[in-house]
Amino acid sequence: MNILLFELLVILVTVGILVYMSKSGHKTVMKKFGLMLVAIFLFQIMSEPMWVNSKLHSWAYLYGNVSWVLTFGWAIIFLLTFLIVDGGFKKMPEKNKFWLYLLVATIITVPAESLIIKLGIRSYADILSQTFSGLMIPLTQVPIEVLIAVPMISALIIPFYKYMAKEY
């Protein structure tokens, strides 16, 4: 897959999911998307030294190593997570949904991370790579440590988003 094709695919999938959500009765979808972007962008600014995002076109970067295209990708992962969990488990208490959000976000993230690693878009900072066990998630090029990192990242982003969505 060509990098430009990847960038355009992320943008088109983002637009498609936002249109779907708007048409299927999700009120204030753009506000929620904006809040999600803020949550992810703040996290990416903090954690920027942990990974290297390269090979994207210059217009795809917001700040240093932070790409708005990848930010859109993360936002879609989380919005899909909410659609799946909230749509399929409506009566489940929110405190239980939280754990399901973490699981679903991780399941969606692993193949996405594998793709961006395979395309050469994502690599990990040397200081981080040196701490890896060397084990990979089967059938991927993703370090096993991602199975810990994604839920930890998600555990920060999801409450921020949920709280802010209720406040605004």
- 25: pLDDT strictly greater than 90: no
For 98-149, write each residue's pLDDT tens digit: 999 999 999 999 999 999 999 999 999 999 999 999 999 999 999 999 999 9
With bands split at pLDDT 50, 70 and 90, how would you rate the model's confidence at 27?
confident
Tell me the sheet residues that pair with 51: 124
CB within 8 Å of 113: residues ≥ 6 apart: 122, 140, 142, 146, 150
How high is the pLDDT of residue 24?
Answer: 87
- 1: pLDDT strictly greater than 80: no
Average pLDDT over residues 31-44: 93
Q: Fill in the DSSP letter of residue 54.
A: -
Helix (H, G, I), strand (E, B) or coil at 139: coil
For 73-89, write each residue's pLDDT tens digit: 999 999 999 999 999 99
- Candidates 33, 45, 43; CA nearest to 75 is 33
